[in-house]
Chains A and B, each alone.
Chain A
Amino acid sequence: MNEDGAIRSIVVTGGGIVGLSAAIAFARALPDTSVSVIETPVDPAALADRLPTALPEISRFHALIGLDEQELVRSGIATHHLGTLFRHWSASGEEWVHAFGAYGKPVGTIRFDQVWLRARAAVKALPFDRYSMGAALARAGKFVHPAQDPNFVGSRFLYGLRFDPDRYRERLRAHCEHSRVEFRDGQIADVERREDGGIAALHLEDGARTEADLFVDCAGPSAQLLSGIDDSFEDWGSWLPFGRLTLTSEASGDIPATADRVAAGTESWTIEWPLRGRTMTARIGREGDVRITRGRRLRPWVHNVLALGDAATALDPLQGLNLDAAHSAILLALELLPGRDFHAVEIDEYNRRAEQVTRRMRDFSALPYLRSGRTDGEWAQFVEREPPDSLALTLDQYGFRGRLPFYEEESVTRDSWAAAMLGLGIIPRNLDPQSREVPLEEAVPAMSRLAAEIEQIVAGLPSYADYLARMSR
């Protein structure tokens, strides 16, 4: 948009992590635009605001908003997060790790999971995650920064962060003060609409009236602002079948593990997030304190109202994608920020791409439910459910020959899909014919060397406690 038609004022509703993150990002990207946050309390069901875990992509977001990751770790707000350990969640009953970053090494153009499948069929192979540096570190509860040299296995993993949600929120709020973000207390009493269907102003309970060019709804799954204009919603409850969550926190040793821990029970599952000095736990099942939404708004942006976080896309905690979905949407909104007239062509493009971004997050979250490998309790019936089309195609193609179809804007990597599929016990029924060109007499010893090298490096590293102690010195 040329400068005359630019958005000059933005009001964000929702005082949680998502609302503050969006406010800072908008304020820093648009210095001529006023940004204020109406600090409505965090909805207990707004998981992007409440969960303590973030994918590696958070480093890009932190760089964008000028938040120092090292400082977050040193001050004890954040710790490093290498992946998730899945227990009781596979056909074989074996534990597996979904780690960020690479599994093994491709041979020419043949992906490593294909090489592994071939080796496994012909001779033998260790479990898939033994060829991942990130998974080995996660299992051992250790951490080291990825190395620079791309030929060294120590460079081929990524890390996310885990943080204390309350302290992280406080840190973001303090950061708002450096970022021209203004705050208003209070609850929204009334929404004043525009003729075109958008929002003209918000009336607060104290009688104040707040106008803005753009209203950003970060107030959680009820999407208080957006739902009044367009309530169309795609329910994912059939694929992410558990609708209740109980969040607890217990004091624990100061030094956390570097993996999140997921364990399936018969009627529910739990996830443990080890933080500094305490462990947060969520139990997700048919019963629990909070009713959680799973689904997405079909049009997260309508006229001058943009929904972000759980107001736009609500996932359960299984793959830890909640905050990442919110960050992706913030970045997309910045990239495609329309003019003050919010022309349909521009809004449509945002909604088109937002749909593509979230579709595969849904699929990746649904996979462990629909193909849990378990036959007891609730699980037996989930396998009967018809997956969403794009996941059905993925399951067909992977199950038949280990191929993964391409989807636009997909953020879940091939390595992640392979780790989850193989971890769950979805072994392709056929070898991809291309993999038969791989010379096994070279590939198998190379795989053994790789696994041994990973084991040796990890064994030689100091504990995560030592790492954190060195960092805070």
Chain B
Amino acid sequence: MSDKPAKTRVVILGGGTAGWMTAAALVKQLGHACTVELIESEEIGIVGVGEATLPHIRFFVESLGLDEADFMKATHATFKLGIEFHDFGRVGTHYLHPFGSFGAPLNDIPFHHYWLQLQSKGKGGELWDSSICNVMAARNRFAPPPPGSALYSYAYQFDATLFGPYLRDYSIARGAVRTEGKVVDVERDAETGDVTSLKMESGERIEGDLFVDCSGFRALLIGQTLQEEWEDWSRWLPCDRAVAMPCTPPPGGIEPYTRAHAMSAGWRWRIPLQHRIGNGYVYSSAQISDDEAADALVAAVEGEPLADPRLLKFRAGRRKRSWSNNVVAVGLASGFLEPLESTSIYLVQGAIAQLIELFPIGRIRDEDRAEFNRVTDAEYDRIRDFLILHYHATERADSSFWNHIRTMDVPDSLHQKMELWRRSAHVAKYSQGLFFEPSWVAVYVGQGIMPDGWDQRVATLDPVAVQGAVERMLAQISSAVDPMPDHAEFIRMRNASIEQPR
């Protein structure tokens, strides 16, 4: 076992969020094991629209050793406590999917079980009263959880077009090489099929041992070159386009949460950054035209448009194999799930983490490729089910889009999960993957799927003790939130405002 084998030459194709996140993580965590070269073309541009993230992003930011305030200033970021869904289960309703729990367990029994029993007796109030994130969000307050607290977490809402360049500076400062230009040809080993080099428009050839395909929907290496098969999920997730348009922020505060509004042929995001609101309408092109979608978006946004509507095309699904030969697809080249639950950057982060765990030592092994694909598939499949739930759990019958999605067959894995919930209020448990019990509970209850039963052990709880515990919990939440500053104020206190010098 040698301590100093030759460095693996990593070539990253594509300089969007996925590309620069990959570069930054590799130079930071595997600087002794690899060289990193990233090819990007200013002509091609990137997909990045305003990005909402999940709490995992904090570990990424932390693992790079970035200063949170500096990172937030650079990306115009705000804090995020969850996603507020409007009109999904039924028009006129809304609920928050919080980055935190509902209440606290009593005698090992999760809160929602005894809350359901209280509900059956006309008591217990709203489930969301027991979510500190919801109380903070409703009052536009923000403060981070105390160190070590697992009560809630938070993420960021930031401008993805600024996040890439921020990580570019970081990566280049730590040794990554950036090459500007377009790839015109991909050269492969005749015997193994491995990619050996990328030929640039300038005539330059860039050789590598491992190629990371961050070329977005084009999937130049994993798709066009290696022809890795695509597994199509559009029968469950029919939205295939988005039109995006930022606007000025409304007067008043900045919400510490993202909003998702169900629309007649899809849904609309609203992501408040420090300086603007990101908006976009994700829709099914089978149901409405691009112009109709753009008009609907323009009509719906609250502020003054800051740009013309911009069109994006995609399809839901993933590659059968994200790692094939010596090409690893990260980001949209690997798969696409609409940003309903802000999962795009998380999937990038997950792929990078697996790539680092399974980073080649010498030649690439089949075993490591298979393991990467095993983990990646599980991530995609579980997120897919969670997204489908948002559409399927609805009473809406006001458009052919909702009629289709309400009545369609869902994957067996989701059907089982929903049946289990309906009967017993249990959430099928998985430790790996993204969404845990409170997330599923939020969507089920928020979209009106109320279970017939709950944990039998609830009957053992003394009603007076339950009442006392609920009251104490509500009091604790309000005494925790009362002193919290306004969200925008906290950004300034944190010295993270774009109005403050970097």
Closest CB of chain A to B377's CB: distance in Å? 13
List chain A residues, Cβ under 8 A from B430.
408
With A30-B460, A408-B430, A437-B30 known to touch, is A345 a contact of B371 (CB < 8 Å)?
A: no
Pair B29/A434 contact, Cβ less than 8 Å: yes
Q: How far is the CA of A336 from the CA of B425 in the complex (A)?
A: 10
Pair B33/A433 contact, Cβ less than 8 Å: yes
Pair A1/B1 contact, Cβ less than 8 Å: no
With A349-B428, A433-B33, A436-B32 known to touch, is A2 a contact of B452 (CB < 8 Å)?
A: yes
Pair B356/A337 contact, Cβ less than 8 Å: no
Q: Does A182 contact B (CB under 8 A)?
A: no
Q: Mark A338-377, 1 if CB is under 8 A from B, else 0.
A: 1100010110110001000000000000000000000000
How many A residues touch the partner, as a band? 35 or more
With A30-B460, A400-B367, A430-B361 known to touch, is A345 a contact of B416 (CB < 8 Å)?
A: yes
Closest CB of chain B to A219's CB: distance in Å? 25
With A408-B430, A433-B32 known to touch, is A397 a contact of B456 (CB < 8 Å)?
A: no
List chain A residues, Cβ under 8 A from B368.
400
Q: Does A396 contact B (CB under 8 A)?
A: yes
Q: Does B181 contact A (CB under 8 A)?
A: no
Q: Does B358 contact A (CB under 8 A)?
A: yes
Q: Does B424 contact A (CB under 8 A)?
A: yes
Task: Give the contacts of A379-408 with B (CB-CB under 8 A).
Answer: 393, 396-397, 400-401, 403, 405-406, 408
Pair B432/A393 contact, Cβ less than 8 Å: no
Pair B3/A436 contact, Cβ less than 8 Å: yes
Task: Give the contacts of A63-83 with B (CB-CB under 8 A).
Answer: 64
Q: Does A429 contact B (CB under 8 A)?
A: yes
Pair B361/A405 contact, Cβ less than 8 Å: no
Q: How far is the CA of A64 from the CA of B368 in the complex (A)?
A: 42
The chain A residue with its CB closest to the CB of B416 is A345
Pair B32/A6 contact, Cβ less than 8 Å: no
Pair A2/B432 contact, Cβ less than 8 Å: no
List chain B residues, Cβ under 8 A from A346.
420, 423-424, 426
Interface centre among B120, B375, B419, by most A CB within 10 Å? B419
Closest CB of chain B to A400's CB: distance in Å? 7
List chain B residues, Cβ under 8 A from A403.
357-358
Q: Does B494 contact A (CB under 8 A)?
A: no
Closest 6 CB pairs of A and B: A433-B33, A1-B453, A436-B32, A345-B419, A430-B361, A2-B453
Q: Which residues of B line the A interface, CB within 8 A? A: 1, 3, 29-34, 63, 108, 120, 356-359, 361-362, 365, 367-368, 371, 375, 416, 419-420, 423-424, 426, 428-432, 452-457, 459-460
A-B contact pairs, 18 of them (CB 8 A): A1-B424, A3-B459, A29-B460, A30-B457, A345-B416, A345-B423, A346-B426, A396-B367, A397-B371, A400-B365, A400-B368, A405-B371, A406-B375, A429-B1, A430-B1, A431-B1, A433-B33, A434-B29
Q: A32-B459, A339-B424 are in contact. List 8 more A-B contacts (CB 8 A).
A: A64-B108, A109-B63, A121-B3, A339-B453, A345-B420, A349-B428, A400-B368, A434-B33
Q: Which residues of A line the B interface, CB within 8 A? A: 1-3, 5-7, 29-32, 64, 109, 118, 121-122, 334-339, 343, 345-346, 348-349, 353, 393, 396-397, 400-401, 403, 405-406, 408-409, 428-431, 433-434, 436-437
